[in-house]
Amino acid sequence: MKILTAISIFKQAITDYHRFDDVNQSVKNPYPSGSLEFLLYQKNWIDTVQWHLEDIIRNPDINPEEALKIKRRIDVSNQERTDMVEYIDAYFLQKYRNIAIASDAKINTESPAWALDRLSILELKIYHMTQEVQRQNVDEKHIETCQNKLDILLSQEIDLSTAIEDLIEDIAAGKKYMKVYKQMKMYNDPNLNPVLYGQNHCVKNSTIK
């Protein structure tokens, strides 16, 4: 996979979302189900919706009940994001399962999918910083500050995309190998989060005497 393809798919998902700019808009993934392109588009769509949920929840005038609903939705989104990363890593594990690994091959600090996760978020930062640079109702200082930040983000895009492409090429050549660890998130699991599995106990002990 050429990394420019992933960047193009991320940008496409961001653009498609902003045609509606609505966190309740359902995703219409244009790629074949199960393909890497499908997974990348789906991943960025989740990230884009969550980006805007994070904006909404920071409104100082938000109704507390609405804020709680959004916080719960963000928790669900975080789990979906993690699941999608694991699906993408499963794709790479399957693709390179028969590669002969060199005796001196090393493991990378992060898997290809978690690196792509960073790139997906970076594309969102680039999109929104570009919007700030193009704003009409701000002063020159704001534009200058945002342009400087955008320049850094664009430089980071080059560095990160190059590193990801190198990583995938090294895995394909057997110079590095993948070892994926499930995230094993605990806060959403009623068997692992003590507030959930001990809910009655927590309520009882929280009573003010």
pLDDT digits (tens, 9 = 90+) for 32-86: 999 999 999 999 999 999 999 999 999 999 999 999 999 999 999 999 999 999 9
In a domain, 199, yes or no: no
The pLDDT value recorded for residue 200 is 52
- Please name the residue that has the structure tokens 């804020």: 67
Read off the pLDDT of each residue in 165-192 and give the average, rounded to a whole number.
86
The pLDDT value recorded for residue 199 is 65
In a domain, 136, yes or no: yes
Q: What is the DSSP letter of 103?
A: T
In a domain, 186, yes or no: no
Q: What does the alpha-carbon distance between residue 184 and residue 57 come to, in Å, rounded to a whole number?
A: 26
Query: Domains in the chain: how many in total?
Result: 1
E strands present in the chain: 106-107, 176-177
Q: Which two tokens stand for residue 195?
A: 């507030």
Can you give the pTM of this predicted structure? 0.88
- Please name the residue that has the structure tokens 């904006």: 55
In 3D space, the residue among 16, 47, 11 whose CA is nearest the CA of residue 29 turns out to be 16
Q: Which two tokens stand for residue 177?
A: 């190998």
In 3D space, the residue among 180, 64, 190 whose CA is nearest the CA of residue 111 turns out to be 180
Read off the pLDDT of each residue in 17-30 and give the average, rounded to a whole number.
97
In a domain, 197, yes or no: no
More confident site: 137 or 198: 137
pLDDT band at 196 (very low <50, low <70, confident <90, very high): confident
In a domain, 195, yes or no: no
Cβ contact 27:100 at 8 Å: no
In 3D space, the residue among 115, 94, 107 whose CA is nearest the CA of residue 164 turns out to be 115
pLDDT band at 203 (very low <50, low <70, confident <90, very high): very low
Amino acid at 149: K
In a domain, 207, yes or no: no
**In terms of residue numbers, what domain contains 128?**
3-180
- Please name the residue that has the structure tokens 């895995």: 171
Say yes or no to pLDDT of 1 above 80.
no
Work out the mean pLDDT of the chain and round it to a whole number: 92
The pLDDT value recorded for residue 206 is 45
In 3D space, the residue among 127, 119, 153 whose CA is nearest the CA of residue 3 turns out to be 119
In a domain, 53, yes or no: yes
Say yes or no to pLDDT of 88 above 90.
yes
In 3D space, the residue among 95, 88, 80 whose CA is nearest the CA of residue 112 turns out to be 88
Say yes or no to pLDDT of 208 above 50.
no
In a domain, 200, yes or no: no
